[in-house]
Amino acid sequence: MKKIGMLNSNISSIISQMGHTETLAIGDCGLPIPKETERIDIALIKDVPTFIQTLKVVLQELQIEEVEIAKETVDVSPKLYEEIKNEIGDVKITFITHEELKVKLKECKAVIRTGEQTPYANIILKSGVIF
């Protein structure tokens, strides 16, 4: 049994396979995930697990250099946007429309579906390097 870190084997596997600039998304329970993109569904019930809980755990293992979030997040869910900024620190944020974000999910290695029910609780994480 794994002693520390990410216990979800599907998420752990995806993170360990990611190379520089490849992307991984985390989304709310309503985000439409393209059929061609791997779905890692960890949603149990409303808000379990939350988007932020999931983001925190993923960021413990994945080095990122940029994130993409929907412009709508800032206006519709400002508290969530502040929480995202707090978690990612000084990482570059690129704003795209929610429609653009949904299209970009086709390029992601996977989308992690959470139980979150806050509007626009979605993010695309771009993998960085540790050297």
What the chain holds in terms of domains, given with CATH numbers, is 20-127 (3.40.1650.10)
pLDDT of residue 70: 98
Read off the pLDDT band of 3 (50, 70, 90): confident
Among 14, 16, 17, which Cα is nearest to 26's? 14
Query: What are the CA-CA distances from residue 125 to residues 32, 46, 64 (Å)?
Result: 17, 23, 6
- Write out the two tokens for 14: 């995806």
- Run of H or E residues at 14: helix 9-17
Binding-site residues from annotation: 28, 98, 120-122
Averaged pLDDT of the chain: 97
Output DSSP code: residue 123: E
Q: 34-75: per-residue pLDDT in tens?
A: 999 999 999 999 999 999 999 999 999 999 999 999 999 999
Read off the pLDDT band of 24 (50, 70, 90): very high
Of all residues in the chain, the percent with pLDDT exceeding 70 is: 100
Binding-site residues from annotation for substrate: 28, 98, 120-122
Instruction: Confirm whether 70 is a catalytic residue.
Output: no
Task: Say whether pLDDT at 85 is over 90.
Answer: yes
Q: Active-site residue among 20, 46, 92, 106? A: 20
pLDDT of residue 13: 97
Task: Say whether pLDDT at 1 is over 90.
Answer: no
Task: Say whether pLDDT at 2 is over 90.
Answer: no
Task: Say whether pLDDT at 129 is over 90.
Answer: yes
Ordered DSSP codes for 83-108: HHHHHHTT-EEEEE-HHHHHHHGGGS
